[in-house]
Structure 1
Amino acid sequence: MGAVAQVVVVGAGYAGVMAANRLAATGRSEVGVTVVNPRPDFVERVRLHEHAAGATNAVRPLSGLLHRDVRLRVATVDAIAERSVRLDDGGALAFDYLLYAVGSTVARGLPGVEHAWHVADVDGAEALRTRLRQLPEAARVVVIGGGLTGIETSAEIAYHHPSLNVELVAPALAAWLPDASRTRIAGKLAAAGVVLHTGRRATAVHPDGVATDAGWLPSACTVWAGAFAVPDLARRSGLPVAPDGRLRTDETLVCLDHGRIVGAGDAVAPPRHVAGHLRMSCQAAMPLGAHGADTVLALIRGERPAALSIGMVGQGISLGRRDGFAQATHRDDTPRRFTLSGRAAALVKERVCRFTLGAMRFPRAYRWASGATPTVPEPTPATVR
C-alpha cells in the first residue's frame, strides 16, 4: 500500500464540504483530508435571507456535517505555495493536492455601499437581522437588486416584519426569466406588500437613503443584493485567474498552471464549453465539489480525470414562508415552459434546501444531471497573475 496522499480543502461551503466528504468516503485509506475554514460552522447560504428576517438559523456546526475522517482546521488561508498553505494563525499545512473552494462574497461596486446591509454571508445576515429588529413601525427598508437574492430577501422581510415598508429598486426584476414568469413574481411581491421600483437604477447609497437615476428614495435600512465577488486568494498566490478573480482551470477542474490544485464552487472558472452555463449557486457548487473530489482521486491514482459535465434543472424562488415560484430550465439553464407557483413551489424549494444537507452526508450516493453545451461562443480569456 502506498503513502496516504494529504489533501487540503480550502473552504467549507457547499462545494468544500461535498468535496471533503466524498474524498474521505471514497478514498478510504488512500487519502487524508483536512478542511481549512475561518469558522467551525457550515452556513446554509440558501437560507441567509431567512436568517436575516429572523425566520431560521442558517448556521450549523461542521462537526455534524463533515465525514468522521475529515480533520477541521479553523483558520484562514493567507497564501498558497507550491506544496503548502500559510495560515493566518502563523501555522502552515503541507499538501499533496489542494482543493480550492473559497466560494464567493458580496461585491462592493456601488458608491456608498458600506452604508448598506447585505446577506452575502452570515455576518452580514446577522447584522441585518439586528437592524431590522431595531427599526420602528412603518420604517422604510429599500432592497437594491432584482436578482434571486433581492427578490427572496425583500419577500422574506415583508413576510416576517409586516409593520415595515419594504421596497425593491432594480432596472429589471428576474430579467433572465420569460415575461410571464417575471409578471407572476412581480404580482406575488406586490401581494406580499413589497413596493417595486423597476426600471430604476441605484447610483449611490447614503446613510438615510438611496440615490437612483429617477430620484431619491428615503431608507432607514438599505439592503445591497447586487452581484457577488470572489476572494482574491488565488490572485495573491500567483495562480492563474480570470479577470473577475476566479481560479482558471481546465475542463477537469485542474488549475491551468498547477497540476496539484483542483478548483470547485463559485470561485473557479473552467472553460466556457463545459461551464459557461453554470451560475454561482448551490445547484452548481455541489456537483462541482463532487466532480472536484473525483478529479483529485483520479490524480492520486494516476488516472486521467473526466471532463466536467453538469446540467442545471431549474430555479426555485422563495417568497416568504408560504409562497414561492419555480422555473424549470433546460440543462444549459435556459427556461422551459413549465413553472410552479404558490404553496407547492414553496414546499419544493424547502425540500431542495433540506436535500442539500442530506446529500453532503451521503456523498458517495450523490448524483447530478449531466451536462449541456452553451450556445455562447467561447472567447479566449486573458490570464491575470
Structure 2
Amino acid sequence: MTENTDVVVIGGGYAGVMAANRLTQRDDVTVTLVNPRRTFVERVRLHQLVGGSDDAVVDYREVLADGVRLVVDTVTRIDAAGRSVTLASGGTVGYDYLIYAVGSGSTDQRVPGVAEFAYPIATFEESERLRPVVAAASPGAAVTVVGAGPGGIETAAELAEAGRTVTLVCGGVLGPYLHPRGRRSVAKRLAELGVTVLEGPGTEVTAVTRDAVRLGDGRDLPSEVTVWTAGFGVPDLAARSGLSTDALGRLLTDETLTSVDDPRIVAAGDSAAPSDLPLRMSCQAAMPLGARAADTVLSRIAGERPSPLNQVFAGQCISLGRRAGIFQFAHRYDVALWFHIDGRPGARLKELVCRSIVKHLAGEARKPGSYRLHRVSGGAKRRQLLRARHETAPATAGRAA
C-alpha cells in the first residue's frame, strides 16, 4: 500500500498557488493551502484597485487545482520538530513537507509618521483601504506617491490619468531598474500625465505628517493623501518559529530552496533567500520559484536528488495608466537592456503579461507539471556570483581570525 504524503503550503499568492497545483501530479500527495483570503489577489493589479479600474482578485476556482484543500486562515507558528503549523483560529495542521510562500509587504523604514499618516499598498487590504480615501479626496487634492519602483510609478500614473494632482517622490533615481532609455520614456509619459517627479539627492522622505511630506533637503510638500510604496518587508513567521532568515526575514535556503535548518521545509517567492542571494521581488520570479519548490518536494518523495535553482528573467513591464506602458527588456540575469517597448504597444503587452500570469496558474491547475519556464536557463551569472561568494568567504574568515 502506497504511503500518503501530506504537504502544507503557506501562502496563496503566485508562488504558493503554482507550488500547490504542481504537487497534485501525484495521487499519493495530499495538498493543503493555507491563506488568509478566500480569493486570489493579483498583486500586479493593486494600483488598478486603488485607481478604480480593476478589483485585483480572481476566484480560486479559476487558478487552484481541484485536489488542493484551501484553508482560509493564518499560520501563526511553524513547529518544525513536530511537523505542524498552528493556525490563528486555534487549530493545527500536520505536514510531511512544508512550502513556505508567505510573500512580502511594505515597510515604513522607521520614517516618522509613515505608520500614522501614509497609506501602503503592498497588500490587497492596504490597497482596499486607500481606494475610498482617494475617491473621497477633493478634486484638486495634493496626492504624494513615495517610492519610484514599479509600484510607485504605476500608482502615480494611474491616479494622474484619473485626474488627480500627483507628485512622485523618488528618494533617488526614477525607476532604478530601468535602462536610461527606458527611464526617459517613463519620465516623458509621467510628464504628459502631469505628474511632478522629484528625484536625485535630497528627495528621500524624512517624515510624514497629516498634510505634508518632508524631504531630506528640508522641503515640506503639501499632501492630502500620501501613498507609500517604498521599502520591502516580509512576514516574520520564519523568525518567530526559530528558523534561520536573512537580514530582512526571508527564509534562508540552499539552491534547491530547502531550508538550511530542515530538509522538510522548502521556500518559494518573495519570502525565500536561496544561498542568501535572493531574487528580485516579482511574480516573474515567484511562479518559477513555486514550481521549483514543488519539484524539490516531489524529488524528495521519489527519493531523487532535487535540481538547483535555474532562474531566468525577461525584463520588467510597467503600466503607465490604461493607455500607455513600457516593457523593459533585460539580460537573462536581470540587468536591463537598451531595448524597450513603450506607449500603447507597451500597455497592450503589460495587459497581456497580466492575463498570462493567471493563465499559467490555471494551466498548471488543469494539467499539473505542464509549467516549464523554471527550467529555462538563466545563464552562468548566478553560478559566478555564488562561486565568488564562496571564494571570498574563507579569506574573510581568515582575516577575522
Matches within 5 A, 1:325-344: 325-344=326-345
Which residue identity does 2:196 align to in structure 1? V
**Structure 1 residue aligned with 2:14:** 14
Letter in 2 for 1:202: V
Deviation at 1:380, TM superposition (A): 5.5
In structure 2, the residue matched to 1:23 is 23
Cross-structure match for 1:86:
86
Relative to the length of structure 2, the TM-score reads 0.91
Matched residue, 1:68: 66
Determine the C-alpha separation between the residues in 1 that align with 2:89 and 2:308.
Answer: 37
Letter in 2 for 1:57: D
Q: Which amino acid aligns with 2:210?
A: P
The Cα offsets for residues 17-66 of structure 1, whole Å up to 9 and x where unpaired, read as: 00000111x22x12000000111111000000011110101022223321
Question: Helix, strand or coil for the counterpart of 2:310?
Answer: coil
Q: Map 1:187-198 onto structure 2 (within 5 A).
A: 187-198=188-199
Q: Which amino acid aligns with 1:243?
A: A
Tell me the residue number matched to 1:370. 377
Shift in Å, 1:128 = 1.2
| C-alpha distance in structure 1 between counterparts of 2:66 and 2:176, whole Å | 43
Instruction: Give percent identity, aligned residues only.
Output: 47
Residues 9 and 99, structure 2, Cα contact 8 Å, conserved in 1:
yes
**Equivalent in the alignment of 1:132:** 134
Displaced runs of 4+ in structure 1, greater than 6 A?
A: none
Alpha-carbon separation, structure 2, partners of 1:246 and 1:380 = 21
Aligned-partner SS, 2:67: coil
Q: 1:345 and 1:121 mapped to 2: Cα distance?
A: 25
Alpha-carbon displacement from aligned partner over 1:72-130 (angstroms, at most 9, x marks no partner): 11111010012100111010001000000000011121221121112100111111111
Query: Which 5+ residue runs of structure 2 have no aligned equivalent?
Result: 395-401
Name the CA distance, whole Å, in 2 between partners of 1:63 and 1:182: 39
SS at structure 2 position matched to 1:52: helix
2:179–2:337 Cα contact (<8 Å) kept: no
The equivalent of 1:208 in structure 2 is: 211
Name structure 1 gaps, 5 residues minimum.
none
Instruction: Decide which moves more: 370-379 or 48-57.
Output: 370-379
Where does residue 245 of structure 1 map in the other structure? 249
* Matched residue, 1:223: 227
Retained in 1: the 8 A contact 2:182–2:338?
A: no
Q: Deviations over 1:162-181 (max 9, x none)?
A: 1x211111121012322222
Q: 1:42: which partner in 2?
A: 40
- Count of matched residue positions in the alignment of Structure 1 and Structure 2: 374
TM-fit CA distance, 1:261: 0.4
Work out whether residues 180 and 338 of structure 2, in 8 Å CA contact, stay in contact via their aligned partners in 1: no
Change (3 A) 1:73 1:136: same
Secondary structure of the structure 2 residue equivalent to 1:111? coil
Aligned partner of 2:128: which letter?
Answer: E
Return the match for 1:254 from 248, 251, 258: 258
Distance in 2 separating the partners of 1:117 and 1:13? 22
Deviations 1:190-211 (A, max 9, x none): 1011111112111111111100
Any idea what SS the aligned residue of 1:365 has? coil
Partner in structure 2 of residue 57 of structure 1:
55
SS in 1 for 2:120: coil
* 1:46–1:165 Cα change, 3 Å: same
Letter in 1 for 2:316: Q
Which amino acid in the other structure matches residue 18 of structure 1?
Answer: M
Q: How does 1:301-380 map to 2 (within 5 A)?
A: 301-363=302-364, 364-368=369-373, 369-372=376-379, 373-374=381-382, 376=385, 377-378=388-389
1:207-251 Cα deviation digits (max 9, x unpaired):
111000230000000000102200000000001111111000111
- Paired residue secondary structure (1:17): helix
More off after superposition, 103-112 vs 9-18 = 103-112
Q: Distance in 2 between matches of 1:66 and 1:217?
A: 45
What code does the residue aligned with 1:332 have? Y
1:144-188 Cα shifts (integer Å, max 9, x gaps): 01111110110011112x1x2111111210123222221111111
Q: Could you tell me how far apart the structure 2 residues matched to 1:380 and 1:205 are?
A: 41
The aligned amino acid for 2:226 is: T
Conserved in 1, the CA contact under 8 Å of 2:181 and 2:338?
Answer: no
Q: Is the 8 A contact 2:12 2:40 kept in 1?
A: yes
The 5 A counterparts of 1:167-206 are 167-170=167-170, 171-199=172-200, 200-206=203-209
Partners of 2:252 and 2:216 lie apart in 1 by 36
Name the amino acid aligned to 2:206. T
- CA-atom RMSD, angstroms? 1.4
Amino acid at match of 2:36: P
Separation in 2 of the partners of 1:57 and 1:370?
A: 35
- Aligned equivalents of 2:247, 2:198: Cα separation in 1: 32
Aligned residue for 2:161, secondary structure, equals: helix
State the alpha-carbon separation in 2 of the partners of residues 353 and 16 from structure 1: 17
